[in-house]
């Protein structure tokens, strides 16, 4: 395919994309296919000779679409949102064409520098403390990671490395393996599975801290566990606080936890993967109070800030702590500006070496929406969640299982877990909307997350009507 | 921006992309900007109100392009290639629109299933042993990782977990921390820095194996080190072999190394990040002989197989070994088909949780180029490298520093490292072409990697003429 043909096919693809998004609500949100469906629809091997473009495009509807879960359908209320906006898609086209691999400043200075400045822009939108910004002389700064899981892991590795150095400064002969075997990391029992996984990868003990009746970790709970663990000879080194947990969007009390971590030399990382986007609104910013105690902070604009996946933004107060955990400098990656204070080689900040030009997406989205446009978007989703909450509260058969703070409503039928499992099965079997469950204090709970950019009040009303009707069926079928 | 405006702006962006690619050789391949250049060109904060699209587009040339290293310029010969093709860009547009997060089968069945089948297609193109293919009943299979660094790390973590289990099967009371403190991983002294980094992340000892005069690890060298380490009470568990090293595109002798690893229960991972694409050509496939001994194999179609970044393909013989290192199953990620043998939840195969629909790029590229088209592309690059090699060999002032097997030529002026450093500085200061160096057996060497899709013989001739002229200048300036 040459450039001339790309001009033609690219424009057709733009229309295909626009058609898909404009008509997405006519598609069934959750597919009917059975495991293994796709293999039977396509050849067993790649073709020897090039195929016709028309045949490929026809296969998008024949092969792909029947198996797609439509995350951007206004009937999709599962997991958490993933972002999808036209400005981000345009930026990604440009990023694909430039196609640089920005592992060092020299590998494409614009790729590195726009990222640093966009992270400052976003940090200011969130009113992050100055220490997290790069500016021209800051010791901190931001980076785009692929996912929050990677940010959690990078922070844990940096914390591990910092604690080993701290201890060896006092006891130079103490072997690293001995220190590592005593390290212990913490997170909420409500934290995302990726936090526990980071502990597994980093080869350190991980303990879960019990939460209060709001599913939040309080200072007292952490203090109790720390006392136990220190008495047992362990070395606490990392606490991953969650703002907006995956099950119920609960908020750990970082204003209580932060001072404890600081005084104990524990690295506090804040994972606000979903909720972080909301902090651009002044009314939600108080949820971030206490961030000043953190060593690192992360959230996903690719969830709720209209920047298509992947774009997980992470800030650190001390870039040398991050770099210290990873730095490797082979000759083929050295360049003349390496030692200058203005130069960032982002490969030292992350697990992969290679990286795409992802900050273009932030630049396009921020400029074409403006801060006000983004705030309006967040507020609309929160309003829709509150609307759904009000329907649930108005129906005596149901209960709300956790405070509705942002765009997630956790709810259930009053009654057994079996009853609620039956209701969820009915919902997902009907395929009109898509939800996933969670477990809260031993109860099986349904999660209604406002996800799609195009979700409106009429969709939420329709979803509630549907849930309400299936609830009547479930109540007939399951003894309660 | 609504769908109607996206139709218009998207089509303009398609033209912008086509213009960029068609005219890329008119741009200076390596930018002149100084560190910090970009911050001064844009505001300090995101705009409150939306901006005009026209202003944003104007800023692409004003702000971004002056700082871009043009990886797809036919004058770019640095690092290794990164892929860029029109079919892959079209697929990425579609992927952005679907915008699913394929962490589990249920999260979008098409995303998982196309990936499994595309990895089988590609595995067959490479004539990988059957055990690496998923088929409908295989125990192995493939996955798309973001980068080769991640594949190296995932394999190391799987190997660590497998060895711990093996040892604890015999000695159930031996603590994991004690085992880990004795583990030792190996790679070539020529291996990529990311291999050493994987060891750092995984918290295990890493030893580098000396290479022979072709910069390859031989069986004998590994055997010697193993004997030493076992005598010292260490536990060898992982060997990362490289096919096509970054400095010189050398090939470790996997046919010798594999049987040793197998008999010692050492996980052999093969990193063929760059060279792997060439194995689709029958004449280069013998370089992969010995893969049958490996536990895992990885290369980057996003380097040399026309699939835009990121797309690093990894195969394992035993998917349960990979999954065993990571598996976490919270309720909000469970789904009804979870336990079926046909279902793959790729989140258990990788470091991040989220993942884009990247197999669409492979599908588009394979179908629109056909296997023959891809082979022709590889052969063209190798031919261009041989052409450059012949120019170097025909000039008595120069020497070739390593066998030219694929698209990389390592060469230097006969003489001191200082002389060659001067030559490289002149080349990169002139900005007509872009190269990076490497170190081979203590010598400073220039690497000429054929990178861009649009590189032709005339560009290579021009590059040689330029190098040759700057060599004359360097020889005048540096005493030799």
**Residue of A281, A304, A352, A329 whose CA lies nearest to A127:** A281
Any idea which residue has 């125990």 for tokens?
B139
Predicted pLDDT at A100: 95
**A233/A242 Cα distance (integer angstroms):** 26
**B14/B92 Cα distance (integer angstroms):** 13
DSSP string, A174-191: S-HHHHHHHEEEEEETTS
Q: Flag whether A193 is in a domain.
A: yes
Q: Flag whether B93 is in a domain.
A: no
Does the distance separating the beta carbons of A96 and B92 come in below 8 Å?
yes
Does the distance separating the beta carbons of A368 and B51 come in below 8 Å?
yes
The pLDDT of residue B30 is above 70: yes
Predicted pLDDT at A326: 72
- Ramachandran angles phi, psi of B271, nearest 5°: -105, 105
Does the distance separating the beta carbons of A113 and B39 come in below 8 Å?
yes
Does the distance separating the beta carbons of B146 and A352 come in below 8 Å?
yes
Task: Please check whether residue B251 is in contact with residue B243, taking contact to mean a CB–CB distance below 8 angstroms.
Answer: yes
- Residue to mutate among B103, B113, B440, with most A CBs inside 10 A, is B113
**Residue of B186, B191, B314 whose CA lies nearest to B246:** B191
Interface confidence, given as ipTM, is 0.96
Predicted pLDDT at A177: 86
Q: Domain span at residue A178?
A: 100-356
Q: In the 8-state DSSP scheme, what is residue B34?
A: P
Does the distance separating the beta carbons of B68 and A111 come in below 8 Å?
yes
Task: State the pairing for strand pair A296-299/A267-271.
Answer: parallel
Does the distance separating the beta carbons of A177 and B46 come in below 8 Å?
no
Set of chain A residues whose Cβ sits within 8 Å of the Cβ of B437? 331-332
Nearest chain B Cα distance for residue A332, angstroms: 5
**Residue of A204, A303, A337 whose CA lies nearest to B354:** A303
| pLDDT tens profile B252-299 | 999 999 999 999 999 999 999 999 999 999 999 999 999 999 999 999
Shortest CB distance from A69 goes to which of B14, B107, B439? B107
Q: CA angle, corner A383, sides to A381 and A384, nearest 5?
A: 65
Set of chain A residues whose Cβ sits within 8 Å of the Cβ of B121? 44-46
Predicted pLDDT at B341: 65
Of B16-30, B187-201, B321-335, B448-462, which range is least confident? Answer: B321-335
Burial class (CB in 10 A: 0-12, 13-18, 19+), A304: buried
Alpha-helical regions (H) of A69-175:
86-98, 109-125, 148-170
CATH of the domain at A339: 3.40.640.10
Q: Which pair of tokens denotes residue B144? A: 């798309």
B33: nearest CA in chain A?
A: A109
- DSSP SS3 for B270: strand
**Residue of B120, B146, B115, B121 whose CA lies nearest to B132:** B120
Radius of gyration over alpha carbons of chain B, in Å? 24
Shortest CB distance from B42 goes to which of A37, A117, A194? A117
Q: Flag whether A399 is in a domain.
A: no
Task: Please check whether residue A151 is in contact with residue A298, taking contact to mean a CB–CB distance below 8 angstroms.
Answer: yes
Does the distance separating the beta carbons of B6 and A90 come in below 8 Å?
yes
Nearest chain B Cα distance for residue A220, angstroms: 26
Does the distance separating the beta carbons of B328 and A356 come in below 8 Å?
no
Set of chain B residues whose Cβ sits within 8 Å of the Cβ of A376? none
Q: Flag whether A119 is in a domain.
A: yes
Mean pLDDT of chain B: 95
Mean pLDDT across the stretch B397-410?
Answer: 98
B105: nearest CA in chain A?
A: A35
Nearest chain A Cα distance for residue B479, angstroms: 23
The pLDDT of residue B235 is above 80: yes
A327: nearest CA in chain B?
A: B197
Does the distance separating the beta carbons of B6 and A15 come in below 8 Å?
no
Does the distance separating the beta carbons of A67 and B108 come in below 8 Å?
yes
A 10 A CB-CB count for B136 gives 11
Shortest CB distance from B90 goes to which of A13, A66, A436? A13
Cα B320 to Cα B106, B160, B294, B324, B326, distances in angstroms: 20, 14, 15, 6, 10
Q: How many whole angstroms from its chain centre is CA B167?
A: 33
Size of the A and B interface in Cβ pairs below 8 Å: 455
Set of chain B residues whose Cβ sits within 8 Å of the Cβ of A313? none
Does the distance separating the beta carbons of B35 and A337 come in below 8 Å?
yes
Predicted pLDDT at B340: 57
Does the distance separating the beta carbons of A332 and B447 come in below 8 Å?
yes
Does the distance separating the beta carbons of A354 and B309 come in below 8 Å?
yes
Does the distance separating the beta carbons of A96 and B17 come in below 8 Å?
yes
| pLDDT tens profile B106-116 | 999 999 999 99
**Residue of A77, A79, A69, A90 whose CA lies nearest to A24:** A69
| pLDDT tens profile B224-234 | 999 999 999 99
In the structure, what pLDDT confidence band is assigned to residue B67 with cuts at 50, 70 and 90? very high
pTM (2 d.p.): 0.96
In the structure, what pLDDT confidence band is assigned to residue B344 with cuts at 50, 70 and 90? confident
* Order of strands across the sheet that contains A312-316: A141-145, A312-316, A296-299, A267-271, A235-242, A183-188, A205-209
Does the distance separating the beta carbons of A13 and B331 come in below 8 Å?
no
Q: Flag whether A94 is in a domain.
A: no
Set of chain A residues whose Cβ sits within 8 Å of the Cβ of B31? 109-110
Any idea which residue has 């918290």 for tokens?
B203
Q: In the 8-state DSSP scheme, what is residue B432?
A: S
Q: Flag whether B86 is in a domain.
A: no
Q: Mean pLDDT for each consecutive 10-residue tract of chain A (480 residues)? A: 97 98 97 95 98 98 98 98 98 97 94 97 98 92 96 96 94 92 96 91 94 97 98 98 97 98 98 98 98 98 97 95 76 65 84 94 98 98 98 98 98 97 97 96 97 98 98 91
Nearest chain B Cα distance for residue A331, angstroms: 6
B354: nearest CA in chain A?
A: A147
Does the distance separating the beta carbons of A42 and B98 come in below 8 Å?
no
- Ramachandran angles phi, psi of B156, nearest 5°: -65, -40
B66: nearest CA in chain A?
A: A110
Nearest chain B Cα distance for residue A263, angstroms: 27
* B236: β partners: B184
Predicted pLDDT at A323: 87
A192: nearest CA in chain B?
A: B330
Set of chain A residues whose Cβ sits within 8 Å of the Cβ of B157? 201
Does the distance separating the beta carbons of A124 and B46 come in below 8 Å?
yes
Nearest chain A Cα distance for residue B341, angstroms: 9
Q: Flag whether B310 is in a domain.
A: yes
Contacts (Cβ under 8 Å, ≥6 apart) of A424: A435, A437, A444, A446
| pLDDT tens profile B155-175 | 999 999 999 999 999 999 999
Q: Which pair of tokens denotes residue B476? A: 């005048």
| pLDDT tens profile B356-394 | 999 999 999 999 999 999 999 999 999 999 999 999 999
In the structure, what pLDDT confidence band is assigned to residue B188 with cuts at 50, 70 and 90? very high
Q: HSE-up of A227 (CA within 13 Å, CB side)?
A: 6
Task: Please check whether residue B276 is in contact with residue B407, taking contact to mean a CB–CB distance below 8 angstroms.
Answer: no
Total domain count, chain A? 1
A123: nearest CA in chain B?
A: B45
Cα A163 to Cα A292, B88, B205, B415, distances in angstroms: 20, 44, 19, 47
């Amino acid at each position: 395919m040459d450039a001339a043909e790309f001009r033609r096919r690219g424009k057709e693809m733009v229309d295909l994309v626009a058609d898909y998004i404009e008509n997405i609500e006519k598609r069934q949100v959750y597919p009917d296919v059975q495991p293994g469906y796709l293999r039977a629809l396509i050849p067993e091997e790649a073709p020897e000779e090039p195929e016709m473009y028309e045949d490929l495009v026809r296969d998008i509807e024949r092969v792909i679409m029947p198996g797609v879960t439509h995350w951007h359908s206004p009937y999709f209320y599962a997991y958490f949102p993933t972002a999808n906006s036209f400005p981000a898609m345009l930026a990604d086209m440009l990023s694909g064409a430039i196609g640089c691999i920005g592992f060092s400043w020299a590998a494409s200075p614009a790729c590195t520098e726009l990222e640093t400045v966009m992270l400052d822009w976003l940090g200011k939108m969130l009113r992050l403390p100055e220490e997290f910004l790069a500016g021209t002389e800051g010791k901190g700064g931001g980076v785009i990671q692929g996912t929050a899981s990677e940010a959690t892991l990078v922070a844990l590795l940096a914390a591990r490395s910092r604690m080993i150095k701290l201890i060896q400064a006092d006891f130079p002969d103490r072997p690293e393996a001995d220190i590592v075997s005593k390290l212990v990391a913490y997170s909420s029992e409500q934290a995302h599975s990726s936090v526990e996984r980071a502990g597994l990868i980093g080869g350190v003990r991980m303990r879960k801290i019990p939460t209060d009746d709001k599913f939040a970790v309080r200072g007292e709970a952490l203090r109790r566990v720390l006392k136990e663990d220190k008495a047992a000879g362990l070395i606490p080194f990392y606490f991953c606080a969650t703002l907006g947990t995956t099950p119920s969007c609960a908020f750990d009390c970082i204003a209580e936890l932060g001072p404890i971590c600081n005084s104990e030399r524990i690295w506090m990382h804040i994972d606000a993967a979903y909720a972080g986007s909301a902090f651009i609104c002044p009314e939600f910013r108080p949820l971030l109070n206490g961030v000043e105690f953190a060593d690192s902070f992360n959230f996903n604009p690719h969830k709720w800030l209209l920047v298509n996946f992947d774009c997980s933004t992470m800030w650190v107060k001390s870039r040398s702590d991050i770099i210290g955990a990873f730095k490797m400098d082979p000759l083929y990656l050295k360049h003349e500006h390496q030692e200058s204070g203005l130069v960032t080689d982002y490969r030292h900040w992350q697990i992969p070496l290679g990286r795409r030009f992802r900050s273009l997406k932030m630049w396009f989205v921020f400029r074409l929406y403006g801060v006000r446009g983004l705030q309006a978007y967040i507020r609309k989703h929160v309003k829709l969640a509150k609307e759904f909450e009000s329907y649930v509260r108005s129906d005596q058969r149901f209960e709300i299982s956790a405070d509705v703070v942002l765009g997630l409503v956790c709810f259930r039928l009053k009654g057994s877990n079996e009853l609620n499992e039956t209701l969820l099965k009915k919902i997902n079997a009907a395929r009109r909307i898509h939800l996933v469950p969670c477990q809260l204090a031993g109860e099986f709970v349904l999660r209604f997350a406002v996800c799609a950019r195009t979700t409106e009040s009429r969709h939420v009303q329709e979803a509630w009507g549907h849930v309400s009707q299936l609830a009547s069926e479930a109540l007939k079928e399951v003894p309660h």
